[in-house]
Amino acid sequence: MDKLKADLQNAESNVGEFSKRYDHATRAQEESNAQKKGLVDKVAELKNSLDSLKAENSSLKDENLKLEKSTDEEVKAGIENFINQFEFTQDYENLQAFFVNFGARQVLSELMELHPNLDLSHIEADYPA
């Protein structure tokens, strides 16, 4: 009988131990599930954010293409206007004179940078800006 009581106490002790382990495992599982749910929610949030950023990127690309096209058209119009109005510019008789003056101005500009003490005023008068 004492042996049965000892076995019963041992069994109850084992049940208590298993119950503690089960409770600990259950809490750990619940915490894991909560973390998993948090991660799933975060992934969903990031996917929504990614979709939003993709839509914004697409919109910006479309806007960029429109602006590039508009800029190209404006540059072409500006060049055509310059060519059409070039003959009315007082400083230049023709395109060759324009480039001669332009080249001379570039050379004078570099000379003034390299030799700031050099007096180039008499040459500057021949090639106005």
Residues 19-69: pLDDT tens digits? Answer: 888 889 899 999 999 999 999 999 999 999 999 999 999 999 999 999 999
Q: Of 98, 75, 101, whose CA–CA distance to 88 is shortest?
A: 98
Averaged pLDDT, 6-13: 80
Please tell me the predicted confidence (pLDDT) of residue 129.
58
pLDDT above 70: percentage of residues in the chain: 86
Does residue 30 sit in helix, strand or coil? helix
Per-domain residue ranges of the chain: 2-88, 91-129
What per-residue confidence (pLDDT) applies to 118?
Answer: 81
H/E stretch holding 113 reads: helix 95-114
SS3 content of the chain, % helix, strand, coil (to 5): 85, 0, 15
pLDDT mean across residues, the chain: 83
